[in-house]
Amino acid sequence: MNPGMFIEANRIGPEWIADYGNGHLEVRNPANGELLGSVPLARAADVERCIAVAARAGERWRATPARARARALRRWHDLIAARKEDLATILTLEQGKPLSEARAEIDYAASFVQWYAEEAERIYGRIAPSIDGTSVFTVEKVPVGVVAAITPWNAPCSMVTRKVAPAIAAGCSVVLKPAEATPFSALALAELAAQAGIADGVLNVITGMPAEIGAVFTQSRAVRKISFTGSTPVARRLFAHAADSMKRLSLEAGGNAPFIVLQDADLDVAIDAAMIAKFRSGGQSCVAANRFFIHASVYEPFKTAFTRRVASLTCGAGMDHADVGPVIDANAARRIASLIDDATAQGATVLCGGYRAGTAFVNPAIVCDISPKMKIYRDEIFGPVAGLCAFEDVDALVSSLNAEDVGLIAYIISQDSIAARNIANRLDVGMVGINTGLASDASMPFGGVKGSGIGREGSIEGIEAYLETKYIKATP
Ligand code: ADP
């Protein structure tokens, strides 16, 4: 790997800062606990300085022509593509996912930069008719200002570009705080952004204690927008704390995705989709299928075929080309083990897989006959464990899912496209995948309803999130 890509420093304006005199945060490889490096802990005053640098750079960036912003983004895209192997290696080392999945994530991350390089030139306002004929009404789209972006560890590159690319395309500057477990992917992306000619101060990266940095973000008057991806409790906290300064917010929080297999489903399609929806990224994704609702008439054949496929998955270090890597750390693995134990204590059965005690590995598992009283049914598993149960009445299933507090994505498998779309229309979720286990795409709006969040990322909604609407009435 190119050694210049592993950066143990923060980026503020044109500077790389390796030490604030406040200690460092260690980053470890989840597969073996090995120390990969450390990043500095920023103090509140450092975060404030970073915001001030971003605010000054933002004034210049918003005045930079759209075509120049687009060109810089295009160069960033090309550099990400050229450094795909280096970025994928960093990602696998700090996050744990298999190298093949890390490469796919770099492609996905790059696709947001490409999409928003193109969208930068297509930010339109409108001229509205003046009702009494005396004035000219123009409606303009202007950048919101400084954006604070907070990203999670499960997709350390694509969650950065999904926020940063549209913000920069819109003419905003960004202070990015990556997750403690995965700062090196974000810092490498920032280095490539600088090489691409994205002006100094437009993309800043800061690391430190999340609650402390979050408090500076929410209290700052200069920060005009927070874009967050992570857990529902932290999303709620940011929402509450941002009330005082009335910030714009995009919050992408957790889901508890149902995967519904109807009576007439093609079981081969169902199993292929289930494998992707559940085991991509080891199930550590907010769009990972959490609960599999299988029509009672096909429950037994689905269980048999799914178990055969899941039991054949290899589980090991991402650099060793396993199908499923470790979860993010040993604590996460223990939490997943406790969900399985809670389920089996209440009558569920493990068909394959399970926790490898004392490690960050959970062998891909299937737990059947789960029910709403079990934590595995109610909580996001965030690991390579599939919970299965049979259903008979699809209307009752839709009603019970709609009564829940979250609604990010649902998967439906059926050969009857009208029936599947009908269920898709009735489910209270932001996204639906029909006969597929992979619905994410840079050109589509990603996001959920209720406790799953506010706002959308990707597509035209994704850039709109960084634009303010301003109307000007001109009377001669
Ligand atoms: P997870 O449990 O999956 O790690 P979190 O919501 O804790 O999810 O983390 C997602 C992102 O939010 C990370 O970058 C993390 O550092 C950040 N974060 C956690 N707590 C806070 C907080 N109080 N304020 C701001 N950011 C936070």
Instruction: Read off the amino acid at residue 141.
Output: K
- Enumerate residues lining ligand 1, CB below 6 A: 150-152, 177, 179-180, 210-211, 214, 230-231, 234, 237
Q: Please compute the mean of the pLDDT values over residues 448-476 and round it to a whole number.
A: 96
Between the CA of 382 and the centroid of ligand 1 the distance, in Å, is 15
The C-alpha atoms of residue 69 and residue 167 are separated, in whole angstroms, by 11
Q: Dihedral of CA 348/289/352/155: which sign?
A: negative
Average pLDDT along the chain: 97
pLDDT at residue 389 above 70? yes
Cβ contacts of 364 within 8 Å, gap of 6 or more:
279, 310, 311, 313, 315, 323, 324, 352, 353, 384, 385
DSSP one-letter string for 112-153: HHHHHHHHTT----EEEPPTTSS-EEEEEEEE--EEEEE--S
CA–CA separation, 267 vs 176, rounded Å?
A: 43
Of ligand 1's listed atoms, the one at least distance from the Cα of 215 is: 24
Q: What's the CA-to-centroid distance between 429 and ligand 1, angstroms?
A: 23
Q: Structure pTM?
A: 0.97
Q: Which atom of ligand 1 is nearest to the CA of 234?
A: 6
**Residues with catalytic annotation?**
252, 286
Q: In which residue are the tokens 């490539």 written?
A: 192
Sequence-ordered strand ranges (E) for 4-50: 10-12, 15-17, 24-28, 35-40
Is the Cβ–Cβ distance between 36 and 227 less than 8 Å?
Answer: no
Q: Whose CA is nearest to atom 23 of ligand 1?
A: 211
User: Over pLDDT 90: what percentage of the chain?
Assistant: 97
Using the atom order of ligand 1, give the atom closest to the CA of residue 151: 14
Q: How far apart are CA 189 and CA 177, in angstroms?
A: 13
pLDDT in tens, 211-226: 999 999 999 999 999 9
**Residue type (1 letter), 475:** T
Ligand 1 centre to CA of 137 (Å) is: 43
- Residues constituting the chain: 476
In percent, how much of the chain has pLDDT > 70?
99
pLDDT for 434 beyond 70: yes
Distances (CA, A) of 104 to 29, 92, 274, 295: 20, 12, 18, 33
Task: Give the pLDDT of residue 48.
Answer: 98
State the distance from the centre of ligand 1 to the C-alpha of 286, rounded, in angstroms. Answer: 14
* Tens-digit pLDDT profile for residues 90-134: 999 999 999 999 999 999 999 999 999 999 999 999 998 888 889
Q: Which pLDDT does position 403 carry in this prediction?
A: 98
